A and B are shown apart, each in its own frame.
Chain A
Amino acid sequence: MQAAAQLREEQVWTWLAAVPDPEIPVISVVDLGIVRAVQVTGDDAVSVTITPTYSGCPAMQVIEDAVRDALHQRGIGHVDIVTRLSPAWTTDWMSEEGKVKLKDYGIAPPSQQASDLQVIDTSGLKSGLKSGLAGAVSRRAVPPPVVACPHCGSTHTQLTSQFGSTPCKALYKCLDCREPFDYFKCH
């Protein structure tokens, strides 16, 4: 029984790996790290735990529906979707395969580890602020990312806009091949 359940969970993960992200259809919801857990709860019942990328991401409802549809099509009658906020989603959860797919699609993948960005730099701050979260707001605490152009590979690139067509992306331009491109921000 245990072995059968194990097998089916792996099967469900494989099915979900074919569910595309609605905004960036070249990568799947599994590649993005949105699917956090899969549990087989009965003969035709599955519970899928997902986490939102950004609080206001308008794609979350679409993702939920897509996951549900995909499993219904595989004959799973009861699909329970659980939304989990903590631990909060991070681009560190994006699969290496997903990063390659993003780059091939023309979107530069995150070039930093989000966990590195949590480094507290309190230099230049007042004594009263030298504890807790203060460093994260220091305006120069974090060096800007080195972003490689997904078209020509040059790192001679420049930020055009901190925000792009979706909350997760910034706009860059390549100073060598002159092409504009999206950068999937480290979060």
Chain B
Amino acid sequence: MDAKTNYLLRLGDNALVLSQRLSELCGKGPALEEDMALTNVALDLLGQARMWLTYAGELEGRGRDEDALAYRRDAHDFTNVLLVEQPNGNYADTLMRQFYFDTWHYFLIGALTKSSDERIAGIAEKSLKEVTYHLRRSGDLVVRLGDGTDISHRYAQTAADELWMYSGEVFNYDAVDDAMVAAGIAPPAAHLRQQWLDHVADIFAEATLTMPPADAWMQKGGKQGRHSEHLGYLLAEMQFLQRAYPGAEW
């Protein structure tokens, strides 16, 4: 698999796995408005995943479409970062995971609108408005929880601390990412990371939350297919129908 196909697969897998996680909350949100918001974000991410995976399948040239890539790969073939497969936990966990992801996603997608690959730039342009309101929303809610009651503050701070070690993987570039940067397809990590840190610091200051140290030890491995045990359970549910009834069509 060439670097670009691999990179597209990562973009698609991140969106797909997070979409699936958020979909688990459908009908179980803490309030009706939050339930709808979470599933709307899930829907946006699913749409984006379809565009990335379709392109990846075409480039790969082995006849795999979006469905084949989503439903007929096992955990070690998934290339999403570990952050997005983390369980929903309590609502502060769900929101903090979303906020860390949205901040990266927003600056990444913004940069991808200037990608040297026209189709990637087009998908990014389509997605940018969506990821912009995702980030506005998750930032708002982090402030509301952090600067809320003693209990909501405590939950938000715990979530911020516990998920922190999963926030660095997106900036940990390997040969695939480096090849994309060299080709002008994707942005370099350093600037992206600085934008991420600045925005998180801004929101945390308003939320009265303490930001964990930027040089803390970070988890990695998801992009290379080494996942936490959580992904297997997620896929078991997501892929059930195609595993039980291979080739079933809508």
B129 touches A163 (CB 8 A): no
Is A20 interfacial (CB-CB < 8 Å)?
Answer: no
Interface pair B121/A126, CB less than 8 Å apart: no
Interface positions, chain B 17-64, Cβ under 8 Å from A, are 32-33, 36-37, 40, 43-48, 50-51
Q: Are B44 and A167 in contact (CB under 8 A)?
A: yes
Judged by DSSP, the binding face of A is loop
Q: How far is the CA of A81 from the CA of B81 in the complex (A)?
A: 35
B204 CB-CB contact with A under 8 Å: no
- Counting contact residues on chain B (CB < 8 A from A), the size range is 35 or more
Which residues from A are CB-within-8-Å of B127?
55
Does B126 lie at the interface of the complex (its beta carbon under 8 Å from any beta carbon of A)? yes
Which of chain B's residues 88-130 have a Cβ closer than 8 Å to chain A? Answer: 106-107, 110, 121-123, 125-130
Once the chains are docked, how many angstroms separate the CA of A141 from the CA of B28? 32
Cβ of B194 < 8 Å from any Cβ of A?
yes
Residues of A within 8 A of B195 (CB): 128-129, 134
Task: Please state if A56 and B44 are interface contacts (CB–CB under 8 Å).
Answer: yes
Is A164 engaged at the interface, CB distance under 8 Å to the other chain? yes
- Whether A161 contacts B44 in the complex (CB less than 8 A), given A129-B199, A139-B140, comes out as no
Determine whether A136 belongs to the interface, using a CB cutoff of 8 Å to chain B.
yes
Contacting residues, chain A, for B203 (C-beta < 8 A): 139
B132 within 8 A of A: yes
Taking a contact as CB atoms under 8 Å apart, the answer to whether A56 and B43 are in contact is yes
Complex-state Cα separation, A173 to B48, whole angstroms: 31
* Alpha-carbon gap, A87 to B132, bound state (A): 17
Q: For the complex, is B136 an interface residue (Cβ under 8 Å from A)?
A: yes
Contact between B139 and A139 (Cβ–Cβ < 8 Å)?
Answer: yes
Query: Within 8 Å CB of B51, what residues of A?
Result: 55, 85
| Interface of A toward B, CB cutoff 8 Å | 52, 54-58, 85-89, 125-126, 128-129, 132-134, 136-137, 139, 160-164, 167, 171, 187
Nearest 7 Cβ contacts at the A-B interface? A56-B47, A55-B47, A56-B43, A161-B33, A86-B122, A85-B122, A163-B36
